[in-house]
Amino acid sequence: MIIRSKAPLRIGLAGGGTDVSPYSDIYGGAILNATLSLYANASIKPRTDGKIVINAIDRNEIIELNSTEELPIDGQLDLAKGVYNRLVKEFIKQPLSFEINTYVDAPPGSGLGSSSTLVVAILGAFVEWLKLPLGEYDIAHLAYSIEREDLKMAGGKQDQYAATFGGVNYMEFYANDKVIVNPLRVKSKFLHELEHNLVLFYTQTSRLSSKIIQEQTDNVHAKKSTSIEAMHQLKEQSILMKEAILKGNMDDIGTILHNGWMHKKKMADGISNASIDDIYETALQFGATGGKISGAGGGGFMIFYAPYIHKYQLIRKLSELGGNVINYTLTNEGLTTWIV
């Protein structure tokens, strides 16, 4: 028996960063995001020899451990260990023996929520195997709790919910970890147009998002007006983006992305840099009407909105800048699990 799962990565279209505490706790956050045909994958094969094997295929990293009720959190494949430890503690109450293989279609630190999406995929595989009574909100919240509380990894709340629910969602974030996911019923022709015009570009760089997020958090604690006002504006952009997509005002999307990016750069130092700014300005010269960094910033993936047929000249130009334009489709499905 093999238990498999996959969860989609996401792009944030507006409001990114307002899902991070303490901003979301004090003011309430809002984000509009969409999931892509890029996935975090997990496969579990039960064993009977008292061993646990964790194999991160994309990272070429594998470890073998004795089956115990708590695995050491020591920097080696801690995401899988964190999921296992929480499930044993909260649900199973006894050690398990298994092999788990994982693969993510984007590198860590690339801004598509890969780490959180992998936690959701691993958690989903265990839920399928052990028949745990967890719904979508339960899985997303548990994934958030494992990553942010158990493993002490900095970040927001959107990634776990996007990976679990899938599709185009307007998400609201409040105090006490309250999250409301509003799936948007977008007409198919508007989704096709959005997909046609959005260019996904990997800069061939990664970044440690925790440093940027920590500064963002510190700025809110310190009541730094420039940073807080930028987050207020980002939240407003998420409302405007929702309206544009639902009504099919596609020409507004590039402008909303651009305005959001201008505000996002004010949230914390390190969100942009000279290289990112150069790429962005080049994209505007070759057909993009707006764009942004995906995720916390500092590197990774960028998205650009290039209407009409301008995306083709934009793709040619971006390919000259040393990164990769990635083919994708927008997806409606979130976490998916099955047994072979």
- In this structure, the number of other CB atoms found within 10 A of the CB of residue 181 comes to 18
- Token duo for residue 277: 């700014």
Query: What is d(CA 157, CA 31) in angstroms, rounded to the nearest whole number?
Result: 10
User: For 146-296, where are the E strands, in sequence order?
Assistant: 168-173, 179-183, 198-202, 290-293
Residue closest to 158 by CA, chosen among 264, 37, 24, 260: 24
Query: What is d(CA 306, CA 192) in angstroms, rounded to the nearest whole number?
Result: 14
- Cβ neighbours for 179, distance < 8 A, ≥ 6 positions apart: 137, 140, 141, 157, 161, 171, 172, 173
CA distances from 17 to 33, 122, 154, 264 (A): 12, 25, 12, 8
Annotated catalytic residue 159: yes
Catalytic residue among 19, 78, 105, 159: 159
**How many CA within 13 A on the CB side of residue 195?**
19
Catalytic residues: 159
